[in-house]
Amino acid sequence: MPGVRRRGAGRPPAGAELTYFLILVVDGALAGAVYALVALAFVIVYRASQMINFSLGEWVMLAAGLLGAGVHVLGLGLAGALLAATAAMVALGVLFNHVIVRPLVGRPVIALIMVTLGLGALLRGVAAITLSGVPRRLPLPIPEGPLVIGALPIAPEKLAAGVVAALAIGLLTWGVHGSRAGLAIRAIADDQQVAAAMGIDVHRYFALTWAGVGVIAVLAATTWTAVVGGGFGVVLLGLKVFPIVIIGGLDSIGGTLIGALLVGVLESLAAGYVDPWLGGGFSTIASYIALIAMLCVRPYGLFGRPAVARV
């Protein structure tokens, strides 16, 4: 990475040091915006159904493959590929809810966890068979060359990904807190039985929630592919979710956003300052070290609510 200090190198001037630090922070914040988009899909499913979706990375991976197939195989162009991939992922979400989730309502949590693990394995197998030769690069209308904002050079694809993720997060947050569907989902999250007694169609809103996961998967695949190029490694994006939601709070949307930014900046700073001294790789586990520390100090996260039960 340009600007990384090597072992034994002289200390750069104070101005260059500050610029380098700001570059790392901005780069981490832009990555954190993409992380937050995926983490919100995790939190919304959990809040609506108390279900932990361990296959979220595979959803994003499949969406990336469908986008690549739409552009490079079917020749639909970027807009057509986005529409086709969104329709396919929404259909997957609705089908998964109807065939798998609905019959398991009221079953032990471990059954729901095993179902998502099995779905993840199935999606990896299907993608490996049907989409293994499909390029993941997308022809995005983004200028080439770094943009210089102030004294900070910023990759245009990262800036575009961060802006798209921020807009999607804002729309999603409004949907949860400012719409009738969001009100119904929050009522279901508080108490499914009371919500059903009030006339809320629980299964309908479960289907809406999983359809939303499909839409978010397409957006996350688009933004992440713009930054790193996609490929099956995009499934690792799902692994970034767990430190984020635990640090921010498993049931807190605002905490998830803050946790995602913290994880993104932490990884960027670790890559810039620690990896050159340890030989690389520490940045990939830095968020999990923070996760362990959070579990020891505050198991329900920075903004999560502790589980309280009357006995």
pLDDT tens digits along 116-130: 888 888 888 888 888
The answer to whether residue 1 sits within a structural domain is no
Burial of 2 (0-12, 13-18, 19+ CB in 10 A): exposed
Confidence band for 6, pLDDT divided at 50, 70 and 90: very low
Q: What is the pTM of this model?
A: 0.83
Beta strands in 133-268 (DSSP E): 147-149, 152-154
pLDDT tens digits along 35-92: 888 888 888 888 777 788 888 888 888 898 899 899 888 889 888 999 999 999 999 9
| Phi/psi of residue 148, nearest 5 degrees | -105, 110
Mean pLDDT of 10-18: 62
Task: Show the CA angle centred on residue 262, arms to residues 210 and 176, nearest 5°.
Answer: 30
Q: 148: which strand partners?
A: 153
Mean pLDDT of 246-259: 84
Domain of 128?
Answer: 37-234
The answer to whether residue 273 sits within a structural domain is no
Total structural domains within the chain: 1
Other C-beta atoms within 10 Å of 294: how many? 20
The answer to whether residue 261 sits within a structural domain is no
Distance, in Å, from the CA atom of 286 to the CA atom of 233, rounded to the nearest integer, reads 19
Handedness of CA 180, 92, 121, 106 (dihedral sign): positive
Indicate the SS3 state at residue 28.
Answer: helix
Whole-number pLDDT of residue 7: 39
The answer to whether residue 188 sits within a structural domain is yes
The answer to whether residue 291 sits within a structural domain is no
Distance, in Å, from the CA atom of 279 to the CA atom of 6, rounded to the nearest integer, reads 10
Other C-beta atoms within 10 Å of 79: how many? 9
pLDDT tens digits along 292-304: 998 898 888 888 7
Handedness of CA 77, 80, 82, 88 (dihedral sign): negative
Nearest Cα to Cα of residue 32 among 298, 243, 233: 243
Whole-number pLDDT of residue 308: 53
Whole-number pLDDT of residue 95: 93
Whole-number pLDDT of residue 262: 92
pLDDT of 239 > 90? The answer is no
Indicate the SS3 state at residue 70.
Answer: helix
| Phi/psi of residue 87, nearest 5 degrees | -60, -40
The answer to whether residue 157 sits within a structural domain is yes
Q: What is the mean pLDDT of the chain?
A: 81
Orientation angle between helical segments 202-228 and 156-178, nearest 10 degrees: 170
Distance, in Å, from the CA atom of 38 to the CA atom of 49, rounded to the nearest integer, reads 17
